Amino acid sequence: MFIVLGLYDARRFWWATRSMVAILLLLYFSVLIYTLFFRNEPLIPTSRRGLSPERALQSIIFFVPSLLRMLFAKRPTKNEKKN
């Protein structure tokens, strides 16, 4: 739902894409914590499917540029000209 709002009107729903990135990062961090501490799986590369700490860590690293944009990008204002 957030991504649809963000794609529909980025100026009006600037918070939607940032919320989506935040939710995904929280989910990946929760998978990492769950697999490391509650399932006691080591952080070594494997070729298994399913939940694994290395896949969660890879996803977090993949989302670092999005996280940086979410935190430091300028929010669009109403008086800016549309391109």
Q: Is residue 39 part of a domain?
A: yes
Q: Is residue 16 part of a domain?
A: no
Q: Say which residue the tokens 């929760």 belong to.
A: 30
**Element at 67 (helix H, strand E):** helix 64-72
Q: pLDDT tens digit string along 2-41?
A: 888 888 887 888 888 888 888 888 988 898 888 888 887 7
> Does 80 have pLDDT greater than 70?
no
Q: Is residue 12 part of a domain?
A: no
Residue ranges making up the domain that contains 48: 23-75
Q: Is residue 43 part of a domain?
A: yes
Q: What percent of the chain has pLDDT over 90?
A: 0
**Element at 61 (helix H, strand E):** helix 53-62
Q: pLDDT tens digit string along 33-76?
A: 888 888 877 767 666 677 778 888 888 888 888 888 877 877 76
Number of domains in the chain: 1
Residue 5 has what pLDDT?
A: 84
Amino acid at position 8, single letter = Y
